[in-house]
Amino acid sequence: MGFATDAIHVGQEPDPSTGSIVAPIYQTSTYVQEAFGKSKGYDYARTSHPNRRALERCVAKLEGGESAFVFTSGMAAIDSMFRLLRPGDHTIVSQAVYGGVYRLTTQLLVQFGLEFSFVDTSDAESVRRAVRPNTKMLYIETPTNPTMIVTDIAEMAAIANERKLTLAVDNTFLSPYLQQPLKLGAHIVVHSMTKYLNGHSDALGGAVILTRPADAEKIYFLQRSTGAGLAPMDCFLVSRGIKTLAVRMAQHDENGMTIARYLDDHPKVQRVLYPGLPSHPQYEIARKQQRGFGAMISFDVRTLDAARTLLNHVKLCSLAESLGGVETLISHPATMTHSSIPAEVRQQIGITDGLIRLSVGIEDADDLINDLDAALEKT
Ligand SMILES: Cc1ncc(COP(=O)(O)O)c(C=O)c1O
């Protein structure tokens, strides 16, 4: 079936006992056994429950994976994914990775003997040079949050295969509608489902999608051992959101391009970071590996003062962290999402004080332009 059909139907079969077209929310912690040692497939909700199974089947299908496991947030999913590693293992991570991943790896996981190097993964030579005898994983985010650097996934897969590394890709910014890393050779995909997969800013969630049964076994073990699996109500909300993923992403993509072009022409905007603009350094790679360019845009208004003025004057765009919802969100990475990255590292990777991140929603693009126009006028 096509992507939109799978998004609506996989895992969402009508309820066999009542015919309900929407799967019920199984708001229960335990499942009564028919007889000693005889269950109906579920025993205790930490281990699994029907809403979680339904969502996991759908997400695995959309990413083209063998299996998927969903967690209470993107960070819980990413944390479990890194626990596939053993003390002493080394991972190469995209330099401009999401701030939460930087914090998790450099402040927590290092305490358990894992090693990390932050490398510009858009440069294959730098990645090759960073491989050590104990390197086991290559973890990339493409495009990166918020610097929009694109990494060539197929090229990373070639390095991973050559050096026997696991290639894991954070696909949060594009969703499987616009990019499918497993088809380009990645072994694992992770998501913050809080973003485009859910799409309505009303639930948190994370996913790990796998291709290898041995990894799946370990992730399932972790999910039920740590109790970080997603709860029924949140699974229901994300599953509902996914049903409109195809139409939402098509509109996000169209609006993203319109707003990026508008900002690119604006005299008060110093630079626009959007892989859909031919001026973007990895425009050709984005064109090759993505089905569209998405709706995440970063742009620089030169100073902290100008950034503050802009953020205080937008009305339709909401000043908030997060992204991927139907409503447009605007934020200041240096003081919000990426404040856990030390100032000197932020400067090095291009998260300047004047950098603004926009998650373009699916409102009328003209209304968004009018809002940005009025606020930019004040800067
Ligand atoms: C690219 C990316 N990965 C992971 C995460 C973490 O997801 P969550 O906030 O659902 O834990 C985020 C959150 O902003 C993100 O932007």
Helix axes 304-313, 365-378, angle to 10 degrees: 130
Average pLDDT over every residue of 317-326: 97
Question: What is the structure's pLDDT at 348?
Answer: 86
Residues contacting 152, CB < 8 A, separation 6+: 122, 124, 282, 285, 288, 289
Is 195 assigned a catalytic role? yes
Cα–ligand 1 centroid distance for 374 (angstroms): 30
Q: Which residues of 312-339 are buried (b: 16+ CB within 10 A; e: fewer)?
A: ebbebbbeeebbbbeebbbbbbbebbbe
Q: Give the closest residue to 183 by CA, choosing from 146, 211, 213.
A: 211
Average pLDDT over every residue of 313-318: 98
Q: What is the phi-psi region of residue 138: left when phi exceeds 0, alpha when psi lies from -120 to 50, beta otherwise? A: beta
Is 265 assigned a catalytic role? no
User: How confident is the model over 261-291, as pLDDT tens digits?
Assistant: 999 999 999 999 999 999 999 999 999 999 9
Dihedral sign for Cα 91, 346, 254, 317, please.
positive
Question: What is the structure's pLDDT at 347?
Answer: 86
User: How confident is the model over 337-352, as pLDDT tens digits?
Assistant: 888 788 888 888 889 9
Whether omega for the bond prior to residue 146 falls within 30 degrees of 0, making it cis, is yes
Q: Could you give the CA distance from residue 347 to residue 350 in angstroms, rounded to a whole number? A: 5
Q: Ligand 1 within 6 A of 99 CB?
A: no
pLDDT beyond 90 at 191: yes
- Out of 42, 46, 268, 291, pick the active-site residue: 46
Q: Let me know: does 189 contact 181? Beta carbons within 8 Å.
A: yes
Task: Using alpha carbons, list the distances in angstroms from residue 71 to 51, 112, 356.
Answer: 12, 21, 29
Question: What is the structure's pLDDT at 349?
Answer: 84
Average pLDDT over every residue of 165-186: 98
SS3 331: strand
Question: What is the structure's pLDDT at 228?
Answer: 98
Question: What is the structure's pLDDT at 342?
Answer: 86
φ, ψ (nearest 5 deg) of residue 96: -95, 50
The confidence band for 33, taking pLDDT boundaries of 50, 70 and 90, is very high
Q: What is the phi-psi region of residue 129: left when phi exceeds 0, alpha when psi lies from -120 to 50, beta otherwise? A: alpha
Q: Ligand 1 within 6 A of 176 CB?
A: no
The rounded mean pLDDT for the chain is 97
Residues contacting 342, CB < 8 A, separation 6+: none
Q: Could you give the CA distance from residue 73 to residue 54 in angstroms, rounded to a whole number? A: 17
User: How confident is the model over 227-257, as pLDDT tens digits?
Assistant: 999 999 999 999 999 999 999 999 999 999 9
Q: Could you give the CA distance from residue 95 to residue 102 in angstroms, rounded to a whole number? A: 9
Give the whole-number percent of the chain exceeding pLDDT 90.
Answer: 94
SS3 56: helix
Cα–ligand 1 centroid distance for 182 (angstroms): 19
Q: Ligand 1 within 6 A of 146 CB?
A: no
User: How confident is the model over 58-91, as pLDDT tens digits?
Assistant: 999 999 999 999 999 999 999 999 999 999 999 9
User: How confident is the model over 94-132, as pLDDT tens digits?
Assistant: 998 998 999 999 999 999 999 999 999 999 999 999 999
Question: What is the structure's pLDDT at 341?
Answer: 80
